[in-house]
Amino acid sequence: MWSLAWPWALLALPLPFILRKLVPESPSLQDAGLRVPSLSLFEVLSGRPDREQMLTWRFWVAAVAWILLVVAAARPERIGDELDIPVAGRNLMLAVDLSGSMDQKDFEVGNRRVDRLSATKEVASDFIRRREGDRIGLILFGERAYLQVPLTLDRKTVEVLLREAFIGLAGEKTAIGDAITLAVKRIHDQEGDASEQVLVLLTDGANTAGEIDPLKAAQLAQQVGLRVYTIGIGAEQMEVSSLIGGRRNINPSADLDEETLTAIAELTGGRYFRAKDTAALQDIYRLVDELEPVDEPEAGFRPVKSYYYYPLGGALALAGLLCLVSLLQSATLRRVGRVQTDAG
C-alpha cells in the first residue's frame, strides 16, 4: 500500500502561481539606450507574449520539476504486509554433562544403539530450534565447567557447537555445582529485558569434582531468580555380557544422584525429570517447552520503505536540464553578438 508521510506538503503545489500573481513585475527601463550595429540580435532576444511563454516546453519542464520536488517533500512510502514482532524472550542456559559416563550406550536413536551424549544432542537440538525469541547459551561441563556459547539469539550456532561437543572435552568427572554457578554468573551479568531466567541441566551422575557444592550453587541461583530444571539421564536396566559366560542385567545409572538433582530443582522453583530412554528425554524437553512456553510474537508492525529519492532525483535532473539549456542559449547569444559586432 502506497501513502504519503507528509501529505500536507502538497499544499505547496500552487505556490509558484501564487507568487507570480502577488509579486509585481520589475519596472521597465525607459531611459536606457544601446547602440548596436544590427537589429538581427534583437530578433533572437525578442520576448513573446506571456500566454505564449506559458506554453513553451521550458514552462512544462519546470512545472514537472516543481511537482516532483513537492511530491518528494511529501515523502512517498510503501507500507508492507503486517509482520510479527518477536517479544523479549527468556535467558535460557543449557548445561550438558560431558563426563566419561556419558559414553554409556544405553539409548536408541533411529533403531540403533547410541551413547547418552548422542541421544542428548538429537533431542536438545530440536528443543533449541523451537526456542524462537529466547536468548540461549550453552555450558559444557565435566571435571570443569566451560561456557561454550554465551547467551545469544543465534540458535543455529548453539546447535552446531552442541553437536561438535564430545565426551571428555571437559574432563572425566562431573562438576555440577560449578556448572550451575557459571550459569548464575553469565545470566546475572547479561544485560537485557528478559524477565525469565532458566537453566536446563542434564547429567548422568553425581557431583564428583569442582569447587562449589551443588546445593550452595542452587542457593545462588535462587537469589538471582534462576529457575533450574534438572534432567537425570540413563537407563535403569541394561543387559551386558558376563565374565563367566552368558548375560546379566546391570543398572548403568547407579551413580546418578537423583536426591541432589531433585533438591536443586525444588530449591530454585524448577523440576527434576528422569530420562530412561530417548522417548522419555523427548517428552521431558517438550514438557519444559510447556512449562516455559515461547512468548507469542506481537502482530501489528508493518515495514515502511521510503521512496522520496526517486521524485527528488527526477526534479534535480530536470532542473539540471533547464540550467544546461540556459547556458547553451547564453553561449549562443554571445557568439551571435560577437559575429554581429565584427560584421559592423
| Identity at 77, one-letter amino acid code | E
Same domain, 253 and 138: yes
CATH number where 105 lies = 3.40.50.410
Reference 171, options 98, 117, 116; nearest CA is: 98
Same domain, 95 and 55: no
Same domain, 125 and 269: yes
pLDDT of the residue at 49: 47
Count of structural domains, the chain: 2
Contacts for 16 with CB less than 8 Å, ≥ 6 apart: 66
In a domain, residue 256? The reply is: yes
Same domain, 316 and 285: no
Find residue 109's DSSP bridge partners. 112
* Full-model pTM: 0.62
In a domain, residue 21? The reply is: no
CA distances to 13, 97, 116, 166 from 172, rounded to whole Å, are 79, 10, 15, 11
* Low-confidence residues in the chain, pLDDT < 50: 29, 41, 44-45, 47-51, 53-55
In a domain, residue 144? The reply is: yes
pLDDT of the residue at 323: 86
Residue tagged 547410541 (cell numbers): 114
Same domain, 74 and 90: no
What is the number of other CB atoms lying within 10 angstroms of the CB of residue 10?
14
Same domain, 244 and 142: yes
In a domain, residue 247? The reply is: yes
Same domain, 291 and 161: yes
Same domain, 123 and 145: yes
Same domain, 254 and 212: yes
Same domain, 208 and 320: no
In a domain, residue 22? The reply is: no
In a domain, residue 106? The reply is: yes
Same domain, 308 and 249: no
In a domain, residue 175? The reply is: yes
Same domain, 281 and 141: yes
CA distances to 60, 204, 268, 273 from 258, rounded to whole Å, are 87, 9, 16, 9
Distance (Å, whole) CA 128 – CA 297: 17
In a domain, residue 187? The reply is: yes
pLDDT in tens, 36-46: 555 554 554 45
Q: Residue 192: give the domain boundaries.
A: 85-296
Using an 8 Å Cβ cutoff, are 163 and 117 in contact? no
